[in-house]
A and B are shown apart, each in its own frame.
Chain A
Amino acid sequence: MPTILGKPQLVLRRRVWLHWAMDGGWTRRVVADGVVGVWLPPGETLEEIEGAAVWSPDDELGRFTVTAAEGIGDGDALLAAERRFAVVDVERDEHLERGGLQVRRLRYRSRRTTPRDVLDRGAAGREHAGGEDVVTLADFLLVRSGSRLVRTGYAVRADAPEDLRASLEQVYERVEIGDERR
């Protein structure tokens, strides 16, 4: 079964280095069967978690991801899914061509109240989380490659520290689509 990073998924959470290149200490990973190239800062790795490629200095507050699936909807389906849980303000909705592929850029903010969940923390006992008003900023590129939809970009809580947001944006700015090369 192909995965986002091009290998069968052997363990849930592992570090994957398939193809890489160096640029001022930054390393390049190619994911989603070559549709997306991701440059990461020195020492950072892209992890495969449940079939998604993820990089984050703080997963609770924000993360950069690459995900892909066959026979699935497009940006409208993404916005519809968001709107099931949140009020969404779309800031940018652009149709572009990048690296020979059709790309839709969606940048939006979603405002939602997180579900009030009871969590089982094992020996630490119960924890009751959620019930918070959270604003999430998302900036994604949606690429149609045959019957496959690839999404790359980041989502970050609006109240996350500035340096985290800047880190995610920096990685996002260097994303390569299709045959783009920096």
Chain B
Amino acid sequence: MTTRESGQVREAEPETAAAGPAKHIAQPGPTTLPGVLALQRTVGNRAVGRILARLRADWSTQANAQATAVATRTRLRTTLLPYMTSHSRKIVRNTAELFTGASPLLTMDAITKRSDSAAQVASPTAPAWVTPARHDAFFVGTTMNNVDFHQKAMIGTLSGTTMYVRGHDSSGELASLEDMANTVVHECSHYFVSQYGELPQTNVASSFHRYADEFRAYWVEGRYGDLPDAERVKKIREHLVGTAGDATSGYGPLHTAYFAAGPNPFKAQVDALTGPVGFNLTNSIRLHRLWQLFQNQAAGTATVDDLIFAIARLPAGERAEAGRSTLIKKLETAIGGLGARRVRAALTAPTSDEYVYKLNASGSVAVNRFLGAIIIGTADGIKTAYGNLSRQDRLAVTRNVAFMTFVEHHLLDTAMRAAVWAMTETWNAGQFDAMTAFTDALRRARDEASSGTLTATPDYVKTALAGLHDYSRWTFFSWSREGAMREYVDVLPPTVASDIRERLRD
């Protein structure tokens, strides 16, 4: 078993690796491919995982290479992914989610050295860039019917949306699950960087963007994660650019750029980087889907409502990350107008446990639907959803500070917000309409005031006021002070505004 770099402790694998000499996959007995597969049928994947953990990879013949590929694929899917799913670190669990579910974002498969690698790289019909000193020939999947060329020391590669993992080093020694999990986390970070385009020069090996891309990947995979941040930054920097006295240290192009003589803006940028940059630092499928939804909204295949729903469903921490992201800010700005304001308000809704938990503490489906209706923001939808709440649900939302905060962040129309307060305070959907009639009347009075013809509280305002329940009037006076009151009452001539305030308070 390989271990992680010195100073790091490898977490225990779920299967117990037996002590003793390594065995070849193609040996007779239960360690042959048919034996392993038969065992898998009879005793299940965990037992197979235990056996696979004791094996060495072997690609000396086509049959052995294919058996190794089958074993690798089995280990990836039946041992590595469950290991990642139950990992103690959130980012590893998040990364596992990218590969699981009904329609996973990414897939994982085996990549194995071909038994005829030497002939392939030395073939007259091998691509010109293939060089026998540096490359080996590999196949992906479990049948040696395809050829791909990679550097000899390759242990994994990402191609499109498929992550190919070798599962062992170039000597055949199996990689530990923790090592593989870290590698998968690391590569997924690169995948997201390439998707979001926040570091466009990362395809230049000596660029600062490449440095920042690698820095981020090492940071999120957890390497050096037990160190204080400053020390962690230093360790990652040293790993990437090496040291001045050793020309072979670090990543070659980064080392050369960092230690170049003379004025060196690259070095200045590297030294100034003290943390990971970019969106989705947690490899979250939810944040990625949110980003995809912004693309869809821009393309006209999703709505702002869809975005708000996705934001509302995010765990608080991820919503906070999205709220801070410059990438998301740009996408939000591109929407413009009320849509952009609604998205920003949803992103900046409180993230405290107090808010998140108390919003719908019982997990009521009907309350969730009511919250959804508030996000969509149509009067009929809100009234219908409220009408479907049980007595218990109505009690739960009435004067619930978390609920009121939710409404503040998702209903930007102050008149409709006032209507919701009236309805939830009186438990009467009719008061929603009554409050709407009242704000309509105030709007009409405001128009009159702007044309200079309003001298006293108009009768139509008094009539609308009469339709409000006492509790509705009080909610308007108390809870809409920064909203509808300011928008519709405070702008009226002082004597009229004062009269209306008195009538509301009465």
A residues apposed to B, CB below 8 Å: 4, 13, 49-52, 54, 59-60, 63, 65, 67-69, 72-74, 77-78, 81-82, 84-86, 108, 110, 112-113, 115-121, 124-134, 136, 138, 140, 142, 149-151, 155
Select which of B125, B129, B150 is within 8 A of A73 by beta carbon.
B125
Chain B, residue nearest A126 (CB): B183
- Interface residues in B329-354 (C-beta closer than 8 Å to A): none
Q: Which 8 A-B pairs have the closest CB atoms?
A: A151-B124, A155-B128, A138-B128, A50-B132, A51-B122, A52-B122, A49-B132, A119-B153
Chain B, residue nearest A60 (CB): B134
Which B residues are in CB contact (< 8 Å) with A134? Answer: 129
Known: A51-B119, A59-B133, A116-B157. A128 touches B128 (CB 8 A): no
Name which of B126, B190, B239 has the most chain A CB atoms within 10 A of its CB.
B126
- Interface residues in B78-135 (C-beta closer than 8 Å to A): 118-119, 121-129, 131-134
Min CB distance B212 to A, Å, is 13
Which A residues are in CB contact (< 8 Å) with B154? Answer: 117-120
CA gap between A27 and B404 in the complex, in Å:
88
Which B residues are in CB contact (< 8 Å) with A130? Answer: 157
Which B residues are in CB contact (< 8 Å) with A132? Answer: 203-205
30 examples of A-B residue contacts, CB within 8 angstroms:
A13-B133, A50-B132, A50-B133, A52-B132, A54-B133, A59-B133, A67-B123, A67-B126, A68-B124, A69-B124, A72-B125, A73-B125, A78-B125, A78-B126, A82-B127, A82-B128, A110-B127, A117-B151, A118-B156, A118-B187, A119-B154, A120-B170, A127-B153, A128-B190, A129-B151, A131-B202, A131-B210, A133-B203, A142-B124, A150-B124
Chain A, residue nearest B170 (CB): A120
- Asked if A81 contacts B125 (CB within 8 A), the reply is yes
Min CB distance B211 to A, Å, is 11
Select which of A4, A113, A129 is within 8 A of B122 by beta carbon.
A4
Name which of B124, B148, B155, B183 has the most chain A CB atoms within 10 A of its CB.
B124
Chain B, residue nearest A79 (CB): B125
Which B residues are in CB contact (< 8 Å) with A117? Answer: 150-151, 154, 156-157
- Asked if B128 contacts A136 (CB within 8 A), the reply is yes
Tell me, yes or no, whether B159 is within 8 Å of chain A by CB: yes
Which B residues are in CB contact (< 8 Å) with A51? Answer: 118-119, 122, 132
B residues apposed to A, CB below 8 Å: 5, 118-119, 121-129, 131-134, 148-151, 153-159, 169-170, 183, 186-187, 190, 194, 202-205, 210, 214, 217, 239, 249, 251
Name which of B150, B210, B217 has the most chain A CB atoms within 10 A of its CB.
B150
Q: A54-B133, A67-B124, A116-B157 are in contact. List 4 more A-B contacts (CB 8 A).
A: A59-B131, A78-B124, A130-B157, A138-B128
- Asked if B186 contacts A128 (CB within 8 A), the reply is yes
CA gap between A73 and B125 in the complex, in Å:
7
- Asked if A140 contacts B128 (CB within 8 A), the reply is yes
Which B residues are in CB contact (< 8 Å) with A59? Answer: 131, 133-134
Which B residues are in CB contact (< 8 Å) with A129? Answer: 151, 205, 251
Min CB distance A1 to B, Å, is 11
CA gap between A49 and B135 in the complex, in Å:
11
Which A residues are in CB contact (< 8 Å) with B151? Answer: 117, 119, 129
Which A residues are in CB contact (< 8 Å) with B126? Answer: 67, 78, 81
